[in-house]
């Protein structure tokens, strides 16, 4: 995985960012699996606030959004 900035690429992978994205994707997969009765129950089980859980789910969608945005970009 690499973070592309402008026309170049970041020289080093940010371990914190990679870890956060991995956690976000894992959280989204748990969310979609539907093992909890509610978002509040899932947040409680994971020991996070509900708004942080929402941030993780939105972050997990970033790759899909970036791919569709890039495909529709006039420069491509």
pLDDT given at position 47: 94
User: Full-prediction pTM beyond 0.85?
Assistant: no
pLDDT tens digits for 11-62? 666 788 888 888 998 988 988 898 888 889 999 999 999 999 989 988 888 8
Q: What is the DSSP string of the chain?
A: ---EETTEE-SS--HHHHHHHHHHHHHHHHHHHT-SSSHHHHHHHHTS-HHHHHHHHHHHTHHHHHHHHHHT-TT-
């Amino acid at each position: 995985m690499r973070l592309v900035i402008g026309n170049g690429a970041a020289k080093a992978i940010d371990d914190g960012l990679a870890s956060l994205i991995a956690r976000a994707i894992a959280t989204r997969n748990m969310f979609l699996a539907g093992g909890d009765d509610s978002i509040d129950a899932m947040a409680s089980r994971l020991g996070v606030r509900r708004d942080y859980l929402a941030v993780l789910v939105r972050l997990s969608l970033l790759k899909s959004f970036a791919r569709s945005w890039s495909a529709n970009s006039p420069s491509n």
